[in-house]
Every structure is written in C-alpha cells, then in structure tokens.
Structure 1
Amino acid sequence: MTDWVEKLRKVVDASSCAAVGRKIGYSRVAISHIYHGRYGANSDRIRAAFLAGFGDGPDCPFLGHSISPTECVDHRSSPMPTSDPARFKHWTACQACPLNPDKKDK
C-alpha cells in the first residue's frame, strides 16, 4: 500500500469519506473505494488533490495527520469559535501548538 493511501485512511478515520472528498473535490464514493482498496481506475489525480489538500504541510498534533499549510494557518488564526465545542478544542490546541510561530510563551 502506498504512503498517501495510508495518510488518506488516517484522515478518513479522523473525519469521514465525505469530508475528505468535499475538501479535495472528489465524491465520497471515490474516497471510499480508495480507502477500501477497490478503486479500479488510475488514481493519480485523486492522489495529487489529496496531497495538495492534506499532505504538503505539517503533521498537526491535534488531528494526528498532516494538513496543508493554509489549513494550519486558517485554524490557528481564526477567531475563537464559541458555538462549536469541537472547533473550540481544535482552536485552543492551535494556540498552544509548538508549530505555531505566533504562540505566546507564558
């Protein structure tokens, strides 16, 4: 199994096939087929889209997988989410993350 498929499986396990598909512009079904090793067509385009969306950035300690640099910046620099407990936990983790160059040492 290729490294990118293993990364895809970790990302899907942490979220869903639908969420991964939406982020990279492919259907839930295509992501599910790759996840389960049943994708019969050439997956080079999906691989490129997945790596652009999830594989080129740092390994996020909170999510447990690599994310794009843009996604990392978006999470850590967004305003504090007060209406979604899951997003609040993620935002709080970003504020104390060792990868955050804006982290304020206390």
Structure 2
Amino acid sequence: MSWIYLILAGVLEMFGVTMISSLHKNRNWQSLFMLFAGFGGSFLLLAFAMEELPMGTAYAIWTGIGASGGAVLGMILYGESKDWKRIFFIFLVLGAAVGLKLTS
C-alpha cells in the first residue's frame, strides 16, 4: 500500500506544479485552493508512504515523479521544448529513482 501512496503523492505533486502555472495565469482563489490541495495531499500521502519505505528512497521517487511529470506536463500543456536532450534527462531522473529502489 505504501507504493500506491507514493505514486499518488507524486501525481499530486505534478498537479500542484501545474496549479502554480495556473495561478500565475489566472490569479484567482480557485487556483490557489487547488495548489494548496495538491501539495497538501502530496505531502500527506508521502508521509503515509514513509511509514514503511525508507526516507531516501521515498523522497527520491516522489521528487522524480514530480519533476519528470512536471516537465512532461509542461511539454504537453504549455508547449515547452520537446528537445531529445530534455527527454533524455527526464529518463535519467526516472532511471535514478528506479535504481534507488532496486538497491534498497
């Protein structure tokens, strides 16, 4: 169950990052509320996941999902660069997170 919490925490982290961009564009209370809800839920689920998973592994995977997912969402939703080098380094981040899991 802790892995499910961790993956959901990463997805909510991606949502929170997307809401930062939304808040910059819209400047309304709904975007602000969604930003706090996304990051708040992300931290809560990360805490639940860390009850069973080692801190270093959980945090690395959580940040890997959030950073990589945020970059991919930026490409999809906001037309950010889809250069092959950028995609390569996103895969490096994800590979490092998987590597931490395999070694712990």
TM beyond 0.5: no
Q: TM-score by structure 2 length?
A: 0.28
Q: Which has the higher helix share?
A: 2
Q: TM-score by structure 1 length?
A: 0.28
**Whose relative contact order is higher, 1 or 2, with alpha carbons under 8 Å and at least 6 apart?**
2
